[in-house]
Structure 1
């Protein structure tokens, strides 16, 4: 999570993480590339974004083949929309 999310009260962070874990409302507005690796939701009057990035196994570069778990480390980031 970003520093902006980390500064929120623990109960808000926990609720935000539950939103991400249960997220299934993909649409053109919150998943513009139809890859299901980005989402958004509102919580406590704030807009949150989450996204998944695909890195090589050493997390130095983008993965050559994001679909291959042997070549890819996935990293999920939870952020406030203003931090994007």
Structure 2
């Protein structure tokens, strides 16, 4: 079995690489992405179920993260073209009651993800 490199993170620092892994897993609906929900802006919903399904399908496979659109490397926001329309998705991290920001971004027991699908004009 090959050894894998482990990134060490100093106490009090954010492990951006682990957040990116968890965000990717959440988008792909894998258990290691933790709990959360996917919501869409009313304007996205008004486009109809085929449009929403196309958004969800592209979000599952999205991998166009660059330093320009993902400066911290957390894979929390993406920009796509769906049926000729520009669409964004954004992942926010909340506490387990969805009331405040999470106190521990990489602790899946204390963090809930909300992925929002929206048009740029909704931001």
In the alignment, is residue 67 of structure 1 matched against residue 75 of structure 2? no
**Structure with more of its chain in strand, by fraction:** 1
User: What is the distance in 2 between the residues matched to 1:45 and 1:30?
Assistant: 20
Unaligned runs of 5+ in 2: 1-39
Query: Helix, strand or coil: the match of 1:68?
Result: coil
Q: Which runs of 4+ in 1 moved over 4 A?
A: none
What whole-Å deviation, never above 9, does each CA across 1:1-43 have from its counterpart, x for those lacking one? 1101000021111111101111111113332432101111011
Q: 2:92 aligns with which of 53, 66, 69?
A: 53
Counterpart-to-counterpart distance in 2, 1:33 and 1:3: 29
Which position in structure 2 is the counterpart of 1:44?
Answer: 83
Q: When the two structures are aligned, how many residues end up with a matched partner?
A: 84
- Between the aligned partners of 2:46 and 2:72, the Cα distance in structure 1 is 30
User: Whose helix fraction is larger, Structure 1's or Structure 2's?
Assistant: 2
**Higher Rg of the two aligned structures:** 2
- Segments of 5+ residues of structure 1 without an aligned counterpart are none
Alignment of 1:8 onto 2:8: no
Counterparts of 1:32 and 1:2, CA distance in 2: 25
Inter-partner Cα distance in structure 1 for 2:65 and 2:95: 26
TM-score normalised by L of structure 2: 0.64
Task: Kindly state the Cα deviation for residue 46 of structure 1 after the two structures are TM-superposed.
Answer: 1.2
Alpha-carbon distance in structure 2 between the residues aligned to 1:32 and 1:47: 21
What is the TM-score with the length of structure 1 in the denominator? 0.91
